[in-house]
Structure 1
């Protein structure tokens, strides 16, 4: 099971790295064509934006560890470990539930965007925004998994 988890993690990191390279490469081409050749390409801006969108949502949903996300935990740090456990359970269930509740409407909207295309490259918008659905599913799964883990005997390891 650990080998599968590590393989999935490595795969997610490779995909995230790919989208970062797409974004950065398009940005470099854009700077070169605009300021050196004085003849900017239109596709570079669009590809940079698509690369950023995919990198941000893919990374936020699948690559960034739970403890590395930004938190406002002033109250959380002031309470006992048992109270933290209860707060973690409630918050992760609520967040997972809210994202799960929002999932069908977002999937519907992303599918609706299939009839429109990007202005320069002509990429269908459902393909551009499909990563948001992946992000929502990942956040749901991660929160539900965290809520489950906080009910186990080794719950102190995740706080």
Structure 2
């Protein structure tokens, strides 16, 4: 399980780094074409916004893998260790359900609907950019299963 977690995290970190580099490069290109060439690049602006959405969702999956999602430790720390473990597992189950229903199922539905719609500047089906939702849904579900296994073993959150 540690190998799977490490592989997924390494892959997501690489994708996050590449998307950041691509966004910086494309933004520099936008500035160059707008102010130096006096002919703004519309496709690069659209691609940067889609890359930002991808980076955000993939980053959320990374946070899920680290069990770094929002919580209120002041409240939870008042309970016994057994209750804390149960609350942590319950939180992971909620994250699993959200990922499966909203990101997985809902993301797949919206992706299929958007495949017939083209982006204005890039000429690519919008669904291609929406596919990140079900992908992240599956990634989050994998991470929550790994997190539940770690919680049951008493392992601390990955950082």
Deviations 1:91-111 (A, max 9, x none): 111221232233223212211
Gaps of 5+ in 2: none
Residue 133 (structure 1) aligns with: 134
Distance 1:90 1:130 in 2: 28
Distance 1:138 1:31 in 2: 35
**1:28 matches 2:28:** yes
Counterparts of 1:79-94 in structure 2, within 5 Å, are 79-94=79-94
Residue 53 (structure 1) aligns with: 53
Q: Give me the TM-score of the superposition, normalised by structure 2.
A: 0.83
2:65 touches 2:144 (CA, 8 Å); kept in 1? no
1:120 is paired with a residue whose SS is coil
Distance 2:93 2:8 in 1: 24
Q: How many residues are paired up? A: 157
List structure 1 runs of 4+ shifted beyond 6 angstroms.
none
Gaps of 5+ in 1: none
Deviations 1:47-85 (A, max 9, x none): 111111111112221477424444343312333322211
Counterparts of 1:6-155 in structure 2, within 5 Å, are 6-62=6-62, 65-102=65-102, 103-152=104-153, 155=154
1:26 touches 1:48 (CA, 8 Å); kept in 2? yes
Q: Give me the TM-score of the superposition, normalised by structure 1.
A: 0.83
